[in-house]
Amino acid sequence: MPRYLVCNADETEPGTFKDRYLMEFLPHLLIEGLLIASYALGSHSTYIYIRGEYAWIPDILEEAIAEAKQNGWLGKNIQGTGFDLEIYVQRGGGAYICGEETALIESLEGKRGNPRIKPPFPAVKGLWQCPTVVNNVETLAAVVPIINIGGEEYAKIGIGKSTGTKLISACGNIKKPGVYEIDMTISVEEFIYSDEYCGGIPKGRRLKACIPGGSSVPILPANLLLKTAKGEARMMTYESLNDGGFATGSMMGSGGFVVLDEDQCVVRNTYTLARFYHHESCGQCSPCREGTGWMKRVLHNIEYGKGKMSDIDLLWDIQRKIEGNTICPLGDAAAWPVAAAIRHFRDEFEWHVKNPNAAQQRNFGIAHYADPLPVAAAAV
Ligand SMILES: Cc1cc2nc3c(=O)[nH]c(=O)nc-3n(C[C@H](O)[C@H](O)[C@H](O)COP(=O)(O)O)c2cc1C
Ligand code: SF4
């Protein structure tokens, strides 16, 4: 039975653009990683499934694949080893859900990208019901330095269980947005304020909050972002970002680091994300299909001055009913941002209900926070 390796280059998580950087500027690094991983797995047909909106990148990948082939690194009998490998680039149609590995496989098979019920997992029954490994672009590109310096040396980079390096795509209200490779020994504060990384916040504004790992992970207010609930400096590691669980922590997630300054509105931000998840739900399970729609509508009401105080508790109830009750984790991904926004910024939701006109004016660009938002305590 054939085995397949699939490279997940769908990268549609809002705030995330590190895979784009790797594919655009270092395509041969990815091809080398795919070659090594395919050899280890015994995959002779390997696929790169790339986000449809990355319209210009398949040409870059195809060119690099052709160069590798010309030099005997792809095709038949690679470098005389007897190993054959073809790499195919498949464009997605622009659906976030096709980044979920089983939806991706369905899409690759030419079907609608609906997630499958697991088990069976792709490693047992994946592409065309054959054993399939699906890994992210960054994961597969990292195979190259690991092989070059050896696993033991590579694991010496970083701290604790956060070994190796991590790509962070930083954006939002920072002076230097971009993709940074970090060795996971720096603090969140250093990452935001040092000139080597984000360079601080423009126009002297204060830090209000951050979504540290792509739109699906919990937003953290500045005080909990820079210090854990134990009062320790929050580090850019898997463990430290998750310290306190979702009560006071968040996650590294996709490495999409979105910074919000004091002028940003958490209600507005949460509504925008809720719209995204509702739009991207594949609709197979009712808690996700209906729940994302309800969250979007309730948030719309609060944001546009038609909300009631009881809507905040209603929102909390809806997100709880979605989490853990769906076929794939998109449901959780839609619920967590809403839960965290209410958990940490409830006063801002209440402010919107109490000040419907001020909120509405701001949204139409007429007034910029007629009343100061009640988040000063959280801003640093
Ligand atoms: C809704 C949803 C969207 C996802 N989108 C992506 C994506 O764009 N890229 C990606 O690598 N993984 C995405 N994933 C995770 C994949 O299912 C899978 O876990 C990942 O490709 C495994 O790669 P890794 O173990 O190398 O990180 C998504 C998961 C969900 C639930
Ligand atoms: S959780 Fe949402 S996206 Fe995932 S299978 Fe269910 S309806 Fe589709």
- Can you give the CATH number for the domain in which 183 is found? 3.10.20.600
**Any domain includes 52:** yes
Same domain, 17 and 91: yes
Q: Which atom belonging to ligand 2 lies closest to the Cα atom of 283?
A: 7
Among the three residues 127, 151, 175, which one is the final residue of a domain in this structure? 151
* pLDDT for residue 349: 96
pTM, full prediction = 0.94
Same domain, 333 and 296: yes
Question: Total structural domains in the chain?
Answer: 3
Q: How far is CA 304 from CA 23, 98, 267, in A?
A: 40, 32, 10
Same domain, 16 and 101: yes
State the alpha helices, DSSP H only, in the chain: 18-25, 27-41, 57-70, 101-108, 137-149, 151-154, 188-193, 222-226, 238-241, 245-248, 266-280, 286-303, 309-322, 330-354, 356-363
Per-residue pLDDT at 375 exceeds 70: no
Residues belonging to the chain: 380
Q: Which atom belonging to ligand 1 lies closest to the Cα atom of 8?
A: 11
Q: Which atom belonging to ligand 2 lies closest to the Cα atom of 115?
A: 5
Q: Which atom belonging to ligand 1 lies closest to the Cα atom of 11?
A: 8
Q: What is the pLDDT confidence band of residue 359, given thresholds at 50, 70 and 90? A: low
Same domain, 147 and 174: no
What tokens does 117 get? 């019920």
* pLDDT for residue 238: 98
Cα torsion angle, 136, 15, 376, 195, sign: positive
Same domain, 246 and 275: no
Q: What is the distance, to the nearest Å, from the Cα of residue 252 to the centroid of all Cα atoms in its chain?
A: 9
Q: Which protein residue has the closest C-alpha to ligand 2 atom 4?
A: 328
pLDDT digits (tens, 9 = 90+) for 183-214: 999 999 999 999 999 999 999 999 999 999 99
Question: For a pocket test of ligand 1, which of 4, 5, 8, 41 has the largest count of ligand atoms closer than 8 A to its C-beta?
Answer: 8
**Any domain includes 379:** no
pLDDT digits (tens, 9 = 90+) for 74-107: 999 999 999 999 999 999 999 999 999 999 999 9
* Three-class secondary structure of residue 93 per DSSP: coil
Question: For a pocket test of ligand 2, which of 106, 116, 326, 332 has the largest count of ligand atoms closer than 8 A to its C-beta?
Answer: 326
What tokens does 289 get? 């299909």
Nearest ligand to the CA of 138 is 1
- Give yes or no for a contact between 216 and 253, defined as CB atoms under 8 angstroms apart: yes
* pLDDT for residue 357: 78
The residues, ordered by sequence, that sit 6+ positions from 30 with a Cβ below 8 Å of its Cβ are: 7, 22, 23, 48, 61, 137, 140, 141
Same domain, 257 and 278: no
**Any domain includes 106:** yes
Is any ligand 1 atom within 6 A of the Cβ of residue 222? no
- Give yes or no for a contact between 188 and 197, defined as CB atoms under 8 angstroms apart: no
pLDDT digits (tens, 9 = 90+) for 101-143: 999 999 999 999 999 999 999 999 999 999 999 999 999 999 9
Same domain, 147 and 62: yes
Cα torsion angle, 100, 267, 188, 323, sign: negative
Cα torsion angle, 188, 264, 13, 24, sign: negative
Cα gap 250→237, rounded to integer Å: 11
**Any domain includes 243:** yes
Residue 117 CA to ligand 2 centre (angstroms): 10
Same domain, 145 and 39: yes
More confident residue, 372 or 345: 345
**Any domain includes 240:** yes
Type and span of the H or E element at 162:
strand 162-163
Which residue range forms the structural domain that includes residue 272? Answer: 266-363
Same domain, 114 and 66: yes
